[in-house]
Amino acid sequence: MKVEIFSSYIMKLLCACNTGYKMARPQTDIDAGRTTLLEVVDDLVRKRGAVDISMTDLAAAAGMSPSNLYRFFDNKEALLEAVAERFFAEKVRIMVDVTESDLPVQDKMYQFFARRYLAMVEQYEAEPDLLKSYLEIGQQYFEVVRGYVDLGDHYLSLIVAEAMELGYFEGLSIDEAVSLINQMVQCYTNPDALFFVGTTKLRVEKLATIIETIFRGLGKKSSAHTLAQPHIRIVS
């Protein structure tokens, strides 16, 4: 169908998903410590917003020595990856669940976006400022977030491939369809939209209509109609 070339990071994420969403790690005390430390990170972000958090800050806030902190996270990069893993955990679980489900393909795509959107709304309604700060941190360290964006595209491409086998999205490649679909549902995947569009205008019922529109209308069916290009036709 399509040769997927994954970075080592996304491969690691995919492996993590297939083994119950956790890195293989037998030390349960280390796991528990990491979870507690990530809650301390939440508190620091709540207090200080999206300012950079150093390992020293975190150790101080957790009341432990920096050397003790390094037992839990090898370095700041490992800490940031753990923060991202926790931030995206539920969304990854939803993507795996929906992709593996036996729903009809259009329902599958709808659930794929709607359930993650609702999870995002929950985060937003519980603590909008905390979400906003984490989004800013995510922009600062986009290389860590990148893997999760790619992971979303990977799962969406599985659903698109399934739809194509049923005759949908004719004449488009999987990548083209994935890109167009991502653009058309952007408001429901980009958490910033919660702040600038708002949950009054963003509704899963509208998302359902958008997914229906995509399944009915997306594809290069033979059509005599060609759109006038803006750089050719200038209406003066």
Integer Cα distance of 102 and 99 in angstroms: 8
- Select from 147, 212, 158 the least CA-distant residue to 185: 212
- Cβ neighbours of residue 22 closer than 8 Å, sequence gap 6 or more: 16
Q: Which of 110, 134, 148, 168 binds a copy of itself (CB under 8 A)?
A: 110
Angstrom CA distances, 111 to 52, 102, 114, stand at 35, 12, 5
What tokens appear for 170 in the block?
A: 């004719």
Rule CB under 8 A: say whether 24 interacts with a copy of itself.
no
Integer Cα distance of 190 and 15 in angstroms: 25
By CB under 8 A, the residues from 124 to 153 that bind a copy of itself are 139
* Contact present, 48 and 41 (Cβ < 8 Å): no
Rule CB under 8 A: say whether 114 interacts with a copy of itself.
yes
Q: Which stretch binds a copy of itself (CB under 8 A): 9-17, 73-81, 84-92, 214-222?
A: 214-222
Rule CB under 8 A: say whether 121 interacts with a copy of itself.
no
Q: Which of 17, 98, 159, 163 binds a copy of itself (CB under 8 A)?
A: 98
What tokens appear for 137 in the block?
A: 């941190």
Rule CB under 8 A: say whether 179 interacts with a copy of itself.
yes
* Contact present, 100 and 92 (Cβ < 8 Å): no
- Cβ neighbours of residue 205 closer than 8 Å, sequence gap 6 or more: none
Q: Which stretch binds a copy of itself (CB under 8 A): 38-46, 57-65, 120-128, 208-216?
A: 208-216
> What's phi and psi for 169, nearest 5 deg?
60, 40
Rule CB under 8 A: say whether 208 interacts with a copy of itself.
yes
- Select from 129, 221, 220 the least CA-distant residue to 180: 220
Closer to a copy of itself by Cβ: residue 66 or 104: 104
Rule CB under 8 A: say whether 97 interacts with a copy of itself.
yes
Q: Which stretch binds a copy of itself (CB under 8 A): 47-55, 71-79, 156-164, 200-208?
A: 200-208
Q: Tell me the closest approach of the beta carbon of residue 94 to a copy of itself, in angstroms.
A: 8
Would you tell me which residues interact with a copy of itself (CB under 8 A)? 97-98, 101, 103, 106-107, 110-111, 114-115, 118, 139, 179-180, 183-184, 186-187, 190, 192-193, 196-197, 201-202, 204, 206, 208-218, 220-221, 223, 225, 227-231, 233, 235-236
